[in-house]
Structure formats: C-alpha cells, structure tokens
Amino acid sequence: MRGYLVRRLLLAALTLFGISLIVAGVMRTLPGDVVDVLAAEAFYNDAEKERLREELGLEAPFLEYFGDWLINALQGDFGQALRTQRSVGNDLVNRIDVTLELAFLGLIIATVISVPLGIVAALQRSRWPDYAARSIAVFALAIPGFWLATLAIVFGAKWFTWSPPLGYQAIWEAPLTNLQQMWLPALLFGLILAGVQTRILRTALLDVLRQDYMLTARAKGLSRLMLLRRHALRNSLIPFITVIGVQFPVVLGGSVVFELIFALPGVGIYLLDGIANRDYIVVQAVNVWIAGAVILTNLIVDVSYGFLDPRIRVSS
Amino acid sequence: MASSTHASASVAEPRALDARRVGGAVFRVVRRYPFPCLVTLVLFLIGAGSGLADFIAPYDPNAINPSDRLQGPNSTYWMGTDALGRDVFTRVLYGGRASLGVSVTSVALGVVIATAVGLVSGALGGWFDVLVQRIVDMLMAFPGLIIVISLTAFFGTSVSLLVVVIAIALLGGGIRISRAAAIQVGSQPYIEAARTIGATTPRIIVRHILPNALPPIMVIATAYLGVAILIEASVSFLGYGIQPPAASWGFMLGAEARIHMIEQPWLSVWPGLAIFLTVFSFNIIGDALRDAFDPRLRGSG
C-alpha cells in the first residue's frame, strides 16, 4: 500500500510537471510580435507591453522562463494579471471556493438522484421502473447544461417573475444568501450529472447481482434488503467512486457555463475574463490549476480504492 | 473496364433486385429495434435538413427584417423570428450544418489519430506505450471545454481551428479505448499464430488487430459525436466557436440572444431542442451499436 501510494504520488507530480511544461510551451508558440497585436487589441500602454514581453518570457530562453515560472508557482506565485495588476494566485484562492461549492453541491445532488434510480433500475431490470430510470438517465446525458440553465432563467422570469439574486456572498459570510444563489444552479448541474452516474451505478449493481456469492447469500436466508445493503451496494461502490473521479473534469468544465449564467464569481468566470482580456498569465494559471485539481481528485479516488477494497490493498 | 463493370453489376444484381427480401430484412430490424430506428430517422431528418439548408430553408439566414422582429411561431415564420427579424427555422437549419459539420469532422480526425496511436501503443508496449500513457494522463486532466476555449484564446477563432481543438479534446479517451482494445485483441491465440508464421508487427496491427478492435472504437466514435456537438455548442454559446453572422445552435442561445429571451421565450427553445435531439440520437445509436457488437452487455447501460 505504501509503495503504491508513493508511486501514485510521483506519477501525479510527473503529470502535473508535464502539463505545466506543455501549457508554457503553447504560450511560447505565440509569434514574437504577438505583444504588439495584443497591445493594440487590449489597449496596453508601453509599460504593460514591456511587462507582457517579460512575463511571457519572450526574451529569455524557454527553459529559463519555465524554470522561473515553476519555482514561483511552487511558492504559490502565479504572476500578476496583465489587466488588473493583481496577484493571480490570490485571485484564484478567492474564487476557488465558489467553483468547488458548486461542484460539490452538484455532485451531492447527482448522487441523491442517481443512487435510488440506479438501485431501482438494477433490481427491476427490464421492467418499467428500469426503462423509466434509464430514460431519465439518457435524457440527462443529452441535455446541454447551458440550455437547461437558460430555460430556467427565461421561464423563471416569465412565469414566476423570478431572477437569480445578484451580488454573490460566500457561504461562511451569509449562508442563507449564498444558498439562495446556489440552489438552482446546483440542482440543474446535479440533474445533468445524474445521467452518467445512474447508468454506471446500474451497470455496477447488475454486475454484482450476477455473482455467485449473491446466490449463496440468498440461499442461506439473507433478506433481500440485507443482501442489497451488505453485499450488493458495498461491492458496487468501486465503480461508482471511479465515476466521480472520471466526472470531476466534466464537472469543472460544466461549471464555467453555470457560473456565467448565474453570475457566480468562480474560477470559470475568471478564465472567461482572462480569455476576453487576452490575459495569458491568467489563462496559463487557471489551466494548470484545473489540471492539478483533476489529478488530485484521481489520486484520491485511486487511493480510496485501497480503503474500500482490501483485495486491492494487499495485491498492490 | 467494360467487363469489370459488368462483373460487379452481376454480383450486385440478385440482391438489389430482390426488393421483398430487403424489405423483409428492414422490417425485421425495425420491429426488433424500433427505438434506435426511430432515432436514426430523426437524425437523418436533422442531417438532411441541415445539409440541404440551401434548398429547404424558406428564407435567407442573414436577411434582416426589423419590422418582423421577435415573433413567436406562426404560419409565416414556423419557429418565429429573432431580434433582427431573421427566420429562426432557417437559422436552426444552417446552425445544424455548422454544428454537425464541425463535430463530424473533429470526431473523424480525433478518432483516426487516437486509433492509430492507441493500437500501436497497445500492440507494441515498451517505452512507446509508457510515453503514450503519460501523454494520455495529461490530456485527460483537461476538461474538454476548458482546452477548447483556452486554445481559441491563444490562436483565435476559426472553424478549422475549432475542429482541430475539439479533436484534441477527444484524443485522450479515444487513445485509452483503442489501446485497451488492442491489448485485449493482442492476447488472442490467432495473433500468436500470425506471429508464428512470420507476420510482421505492422501487418499484424493493420490486418488483425485493427479489424478486431473496431467495434469498441465505433461505439466510442458514435458517443463522441454527441460529446463533440455539446462541446461545439458550449464554445459557440460562450462566443468562441462559430462566429456570427454565421448561424450556430450554441450562439443562438448565447449572450446576445439572451437579452431578448424574456421578451420572446421561444428563442430559447428551438436551438436547444435541436442540440438535445441530435445528442440524444447519437447516444441512443451508440448504445444500440454497443449492444449489437457485444450482446453480453445488452441492456446494461
């Protein structure tokens, strides 16, 4: 288990290093005169232009620039935003909670929806509850998140004269105001995410229900409820946890449009602003952060396998 | 020349002529899989409507007509009009052409590259495989939408760039699937047999592994068509995809249109419905293909 942990950690670090290198490399492929183009588009003054040249490392050799960036990044310094002159690291820390709250609420709601649906679908296989659950899942898979959110806003305003409250408040400052703003985006996000989760949970449960030990347990007189709780659900946890790991990048990507539509000042909006301002320092930092978050989640998921399933703990 | 034409015609003729047998086969497929067939028909209609937009569309997609602006569906404008008085039905058709064109091209590009890399990586193993796996790890760490909007920020917005960037977003998963298929096929006895009689590795990959690994790759390609439509729509929605005045489903739901949606809610309905129906159809066909290729999984999704 410890060797496995160390290997996984090293691999995650290597991947993140490679990602930083590639993101920095992409910045480098910008043609040399890009600063002039940008300056004209974004109305940079000469001092800003000079700083952009320096921050993009256009004058230093690539490895020197990348080394500097990496050492600063490891100390939490991701440079200064070109437009706002603010520390990108601080900005990200101030915004990450919004995105994470939306992601977690969304995942929790998705789980609350998908667990009963998945169980019912697997237990009632090929009967109408199964078809109903699967139809809901397939619908959820195909609905674009931004469309659902747009419909909610348009018809909320039309029929209920409701519109999302403006002026975001953090959850530890004003929990009630915060939840008033968060419940709808989180609910819609959760509905969308529930599609994949229901399908995976159903498949995982069907796999377990098919096993010989289920028949044995039933034969020795275990009630169906007990069977489900003690054997089936526990054994289908691994694929289910895997989905949450696999879904995390989707969650972070989807968060961008929900933040935009519901005016939530998260990392997604920060990225969009960075792109609109052509602020490469911001775009670079956000990409590395998001990739880092995904890698960290996958690491946690992989390690949690060992805790959930003793067989994995022993064999690795 | 003449004889070869004749020969191929005579081979094709007996089947083509027996309309009753063809009809019977079609009937049996439709009866056995009614829903996937219905969905295929829907997809065919959307595809044909978009592809033939030049002939079908009742209006010019960019014709501005301020006096008819923001109408609901009526007999003149079947889906109503937008803020500039453009016909929404026409724009949905042209938008479909953009969305389907971009996603089909990017999936083709992404899946072909992913298949080549994944199969070689799975079949060869060794350092190349290790390298590919590390690259896949990196690709998988970026959410598709984030890659696409970030790269358009660097390199600007153009349709060909959008295609390439969406293809890149699909690469990681595609390589993973085709590599797994190659490893699974590679452990079969007939691969060993081919190797024993002296077949070279390239030949084994092309002649034996590729055809046997195709089913899972086709399933993922179909699913990716839906994913690509969603990515393209989201990117265009954010304003970094297909550029106006060209119509696209995503942009029709975007910031500019949203201002007018309270006044004319129908504007928010049609493009989204088109995206939903298309993605839904691709997903259902993907599920049906998976069931057909691998009966063990039947009904397991």
- Give the residue on A whose Cα is nearest the Cα of B271: A147
What letter represents residue B155's amino acid?
F
Give the pLDDT score at A314. 61
Give the pLDDT score at B56. 82
Rounded to an integer, the average pLDDT of A209-220 is 86
Res. A29 pLDDT band, cuts 50 70 90: confident
In Å, how far is A254's CA from the nearest CA of chain B?
A: 8
- 3-state class percentages of chain A: helix first, strand second, coil last, to nearest 5: 80, 0, 20
Prediction ipTM score: 0.86
Of the segments A137-151, A168-182, B101-115, which one has the largest average pLDDT value? B101-115
Interface test with A, best of B146, B152, B238 (most A CBs within 10 A): B146
In percent, how much of chain A has pLDDT > 70? 92
* 8 A C-beta contact, residue B213 and residue B182: yes
Interface test with B, best of A7, A11, A147, A242 (most B CBs within 10 A): A147
Contact B283 A250 (CB under 8 A): no
Rounded to an integer, the average pLDDT of A134-154 is 90
When CB atoms are compared, the residue of A18, A203, A275 closest to B149 is A275
Between CA A83 and CA A90, with CA A89 as vertex, the angle to 5 degrees is 85
Q: What is the DSSP string of A21-54?
A: HHHHHHHHTS-TTHHHHHHHHHT--HHHHHHHHH
In Å, how far is B184's CA from the nearest CA of chain A?
A: 20
Which residues from chain A sit within 8 angstroms of residue B287, using beta carbons? 138
Q: Which of B188, B222, B228, B227 is nearest to B291 (CA)?
A: B222
Contact B238 A256 (CB under 8 A): yes
3-class SS at B131?
helix
Q: Structure tokens of B176?
A: 């993973």
More confident residue, A83 or B161: B161
Instruction: Name the least confident of A245-249, B87-91, B240-244.
Output: A245-249
Exposure pattern of A226-239 as b/e (b: 16+ CB <10 Å)? eebeebbbebbbee
When CB atoms are compared, the residue of A150, A157, A275 closest to B153 is A275
Rounded to an integer, the average pLDDT of B253-267 is 82
Contact B238 A294 (CB under 8 A): no
Q: Which residues, in sequence order, are bridge partners of residue B146? A: none
> Given a cut of 70, is residue A31 above it in pLDDT?
no
Q: Which of A84, A51, A98 is nearest to A282 (CA)?
A: A84
Give the pLDDT score at B169. 92
Res. A147 pLDDT band, cuts 50 70 90: very high
**Which contiguous run of DSSP H or E holds residue B78?**
none
Give the pLDDT score at B301. 44
Rounded to an integer, the average pLDDT of B190-203 is 90
Give the pLDDT score at B261. 82
Which residues, 6 or more positions from B92, have their beta carbon under 8 angstroms from its beta carbon? B79, B247, B249, B252, B270, B271, B274
Instruction: Name the least confident of B99-103, B266-270, B277-281.
Output: B266-270
Q: Which of A300, A316, A306, A288 is nearest to A15 (CA)?
A: A288
pTM, whole model, 2 decimals?
0.87
Q: For residue range B73-104, list pLDDT tens digits in order.
A: 877 777 888 878 788 888 999 999 999 999 99
Instruction: Name the least confident of B70-79, B216-225, B249-258.
Output: B70-79
> Given a cut of 60, is residue B298 above it in pLDDT?
no
What letter represents residue B162's amino acid?
L
Chain mean pLDDT for chain A: 84
> Given a cut of 60, is residue A316 above it in pLDDT?
no
Q: Which of A79, A80, A78, A84 is nearest to A44 (CA)?
A: A84
Give the pLDDT score at A281. 83
Backbone angles phi, psi at B81, to 5 degrees: -130, 160
Give the pLDDT score at A34. 59
- Give the residue on A whose Cα is nearest the Cα of B270: A147
Q: B211: buried, middle or exposed (CB in 10 Å: 19+, 13-18, 0-12)? A: exposed
Give the pLDDT score at B144. 87
Q: Structure tokens of B195?
A: 């190797």
State the DSSP code for B204.
Answer: I
Taking phi over 0 as left and psi of -120 to 50 as alpha, with beta for the rest, B137 belongs to alpha
B159 vs B145: CA distance, rounded Å: 16
When CB atoms are compared, the residue of B234, B269, B301 closest to A199 is B301
Contact B146 A256 (CB under 8 A): yes
Res. A33 pLDDT band, cuts 50 70 90: low
CB B294: neighbour CB atoms within 10 A? 13
- In whole angstroms, how far apart are CA B246 and each of A245, A254, A294, B56, B82? 38, 25, 35, 17, 14
Give the pLDDT score at B85. 79
Which residues from chain B sit within 8 angstroms of residue A22, using beta carbons? 138
Contact B237 A146 (CB under 8 A): yes
> Given a cut of 80, is residue A50 above it in pLDDT?
no
When CB atoms are compared, the residue of A22, A30, A257 closest to B154 is A30
Exposure pattern of B158-195 as b/e (b: 16+ CB <10 Å)? ebeebbbbbbbbbbbbbbbbbbebbbebbeeeebeebe
Contact B258 A199 (CB under 8 A): no
> Given a cut of 90, is residue A246 above it in pLDDT?
no
B36 vs B39: CA distance, rounded Å: 5
A28 vs A21: CA distance, rounded Å: 10
Res. B233 pLDDT band, cuts 50 70 90: very high
Q: A149: buried, middle or exposed (CB in 10 Å: 19+, 13-18, 0-12)? A: buried
Rounded to an integer, the average pLDDT of B110-134 is 93
Q: Structure tokens of B221?
A: 């390609």
Chain mean pLDDT for chain B: 84
At which residue do the structure tokens 């232009």 appear? A49
CA A169, A174, A179, A181 dihedral sign is negative
CB A303: neighbour CB atoms within 10 A? 14
> Given a cut of 90, is residue A41 above it in pLDDT?
no
Give the pLDDT score at B27. 84
Q: For residue range A154-204, list pLDDT tens digits in order.
A: 888 878 877 777 777 777 777 888 888 889 999 999 999 999 889 888 888
Q: What residues of B are in the A interface, CB distance below 8 Å?
A: 134-135, 137-138, 140-146, 149-154, 226, 230, 233-234, 237-238, 240, 250, 253, 258, 261-262, 265, 268-269, 271-272, 275-276, 279-280, 283-284, 287, 299-301
A262 vs A256: CA distance, rounded Å: 10
Give the pLDDT score at B1. 38
Rounded to an integer, the average pLDDT of A258-276 is 90
Q: B69: buried, middle or exposed (CB in 10 Å: 19+, 13-18, 0-12)? A: middle
B100 vs B78: CA distance, rounded Å: 22
> Given a cut of 90, is residue A106 above it in pLDDT?
yes
Q: Which residues, in sequence order, are bridge partners of residue B288? A: none
Q: For residue range B3-38, list pLDDT tens digits in order.
A: 444 444 444 455 555 777 788 888 888 888 788 888
Which residues from chain B sit within 8 angstroms of residue A249, using beta carbons? 140-144
Contact A275 B240 (CB under 8 A): yes
> Given a cut of 90, is residue B121 above it in pLDDT?
yes
In Å, how far is B169's CA from the nearest CA of chain A?
A: 12
Give the pLDDT score at A30. 64
Backbone angles phi, psi at B119, to 5 degrees: -65, -45
Res. B296 pLDDT band, cuts 50 70 90: low
* 8 A C-beta contact, residue A187 and residue A103: no
B184 vs B123: CA distance, rounded Å: 10
